[in-house]
Structure 1
Amino acid sequence: MNKSEIGYSTSNSIVIRGHDFATDILGKLDFVDLVMLTSVGRVPTSQEKVMLNLILVTAAGHGITPSVLASRMTYLGAPEALQGAIAAGLLGGGSVYLGPTQNIAQSLLDIADQLPKDPNEQQIKEAALQFINESKVQKKPVLGIGSVYQGGDPRVKVMRDLAQTNGFYGLHWKIMDTLAAELSQLKNKQFELNGAGALGAIIADMGLDPLFGRGLMLTGRCAGLLAHLLEEKEKPIAKSVWDLVLAEKKDD
């Protein structure tokens, strides 16, 4: 019979990754510990934990976005189904919103795989230019670069500082910075990393599976969507959005 390596239960116990859930986990591990334990098979180091919390918090803290609107509109139609409203917001997590972190981390890993061990700046530059040119031919954007914030994404400096402090500022950060620098030179315009680019570099430099990175983003976003739905219950805006749509139809 097939079984999961994550956990199982007996007549008198619950076991998660070899740890007794009641005596070894409850009251001893926090949520981030459990996420890492169940997904990777071990608890995080203190340095890893700082970065995992950074990823989850970054994913959670958002204002009105398409995914938030999807959740609020779903709640308007089915206020009895909180899970449906949250799911509606998560389903919009793709290559434009929420999901780029996975794509970016994977791209950075792919670029790094083409480089020799301990590459120099010129080799990183050549690999970055090749990636930019290939993206142009495929008519794909270079994700993780470009910001709507004047002066650059304010989150990136904090992410960079934390990555440096905790030992996760390595080759993939260098590749990401080089991509921004080469794009700036090619376009004759200043390009900076955005939050998704920084998170992708962090996930790659931590050695995490990019899919796990997207999972962390989705997990964090659940908290943000829950907050919006609680606000929607008390101070609804979804009906006003729907009224605007109806008004536009009448004008047509």
Structure 2
Amino acid sequence: MLGQDLAHDLMGKVGFGELAFWLVAGRRPTPSETRVFEAVLVALADHGFTPTAIAARLTYLSAPESVQGALAAGLLGGGSRFLGVTEDAGRFLAGTLASSTWTDDMPDADWDTIALAAVKDARAERRLVPGLGHPVHKQEDPRTPVLYTIASEEGLYGPHLRLFAAIGRVHPQVLGRTLPLNGAGVCGAALADLGLPIDMLRGFALLARAAGILGHLAEERRDPIGMDIYHAIDRNTAYIPDEA
């Protein structure tokens, strides 16, 4: 694997997160890159009873002999509303950087100028800025400052993270309200700063969520709630036929 002897060069010597990075990037990450990358995986592993977790639990209820089917059902639900923010934010930031003139040593004021133009353009085109806002954390997503701190400590606070931080500072001027920087969006910025392919970022979110879904399925075996979910919907939903 990767030109290495799997049994002698990798097993017991390479962590799973490090291996995942290596497989996609085609190069072994540095210890600093591994720390940031694995922090992202932990941040994205589980968000509670999201539709993806519920789908996995109900599939397991229907087919308890098929753990693979339940796990797959949960992963298949990863899209623009759940799990997609990581890639969407990375893509938005990368696109903005590609059309802007920037340097690593720019002051915050210059980053704010680029961010303000990007937010204004998105508003004019009636597009949301990916990674702004959170359904639960209205003031601050607790993952956000932790990820920024880790990236800074490891010398990996790059242009995508800088631009996203600038968006956090300037968006109230355009939107008229202050929204938190979503941790999943910060994950996208951090992964992009690691040089990972933008169109693979959702795959990393799914990799992380696979662990979370597996945990849900293990919990479903120990303390099942799938039947309760089914009954709650079946017994409390009234069918109203369409009028002819």
Partner Cα distance (1:123, 1:113) in 2 = 15
User: Structure 1 residue 251: deviation in Å?
Assistant: 8.0
Question: CA-to-partner distance for each residue in 1:156-189, whole Å, 9 max, x for gaps?
Answer: 1111110100111122122112222222122332
Partner Cα distance (2:55, 2:127) in 1 = 26
User: Structure 1 residue 121: deviation in Å?
Assistant: 4.5
Q: What is the one-letter code of the residue matched to 1:208?
A: L
1:196 is aligned to 2:167? no
Partner Cα distance (2:189, 2:225) in 1 = 36
User: How does the TM-score come out when normalised to structure 1?
Assistant: 0.87
Looking at both structures, which has the greater relative contact order when contacts are Cα pairs under 8 Å and sequence separation is at least 6? Answer: 2
Partner Cα distance (2:125, 2:101) in 1 = 25
Identical residues among aligned pairs (%): 35
1:41 is aligned, of 2, 20, 26, to 26
1:98 is aligned, of 53, 78, 83, to 83
1:163 is aligned, of 147, 151, 155, to 151
* Residue aligning to 1:4: none
What SS is found at the alignment partner of 1:249?
coil
* Residue aligning to 1:8: none
Question: CA-to-partner distance for each residue in 1:32-84, whole Å, 9 max, x for gaps?
Answer: 22212222222210000101111111121321111000101111111111111
Partner Cα distance (1:137, 1:123) in 2 = 21
2:169 is aligned, of 181, 197, 220, to 181
Partner Cα distance (1:188, 1:99) in 2 = 25
* Residue aligning to 1:12: none
User: Structure 1 residue 229: deviation in Å?
Assistant: 0.6
8 Å CA contact 1:74, 1:85 repeated in 2: yes
Question: CA-to-partner distance for each residue in 1:181-224, whole Å, 9 max, x for gaps?
Answer: 22212233222211012112211222211233222211111110
User: Structure 1 residue 125: deviation in Å?
Assistant: 3.2
* Residue aligning to 1:138: 125
* Residue aligning to 1:3: none
What SS is found at the alignment partner of 2:181?
coil
User: Structure 1 residue 28: deviation in Å?
Assistant: 2.0
Unaligned 5+ segments in structure 1 are 1-15
User: Structure 1 residue 244: deviation in Å?
Assistant: 1.2
CA RMSD of superposed structures (Å): 1.9
Alignment of 1:231-242 (within 5 A): 231-242=219-230
Partner Cα distance (1:125, 1:95) in 2 = 27
User: Structure 1 residue 19: deviation in Å?
Assistant: 1.1
Partner Cα distance (2:131, 2:138) in 1 = 16
Partner Cα distance (1:250, 1:61) in 2 = 32
Residues 125 and 33 (structure 1), Cα distance of their counterparts in 2 relative to 1, 3 Å cut:
closer
Partner Cα distance (2:193, 2:23) in 1 = 21
* Residue aligning to 1:125: 112
1:50 is aligned to 2:25? no
Q: What is the one-letter code of the residue matched to 1:240?
A: D
Partner Cα distance (1:142, 1:64) in 2 = 25
* Residue aligning to 2:140: 152
Alignment of 1:204-219 (within 5 A): 204-219=192-207
May I ask how many residue pairs the two structures share in their alignment?
237
1:228 is aligned, of 204, 216, 219, to 216
8 Å CA contact 1:144, 1:198 repeated in 2: yes
Q: After TM superposition, what 4+ stretches of structure 1 lie above 4 angstroms from structure 2? A: 119-123
* Residue aligning to 1:74: 59
8 Å CA contact 1:115, 1:123 repeated in 2: no
Residues 133 and 88 (structure 1), Cα distance of their counterparts in 2 relative to 1, 3 Å cut:
same
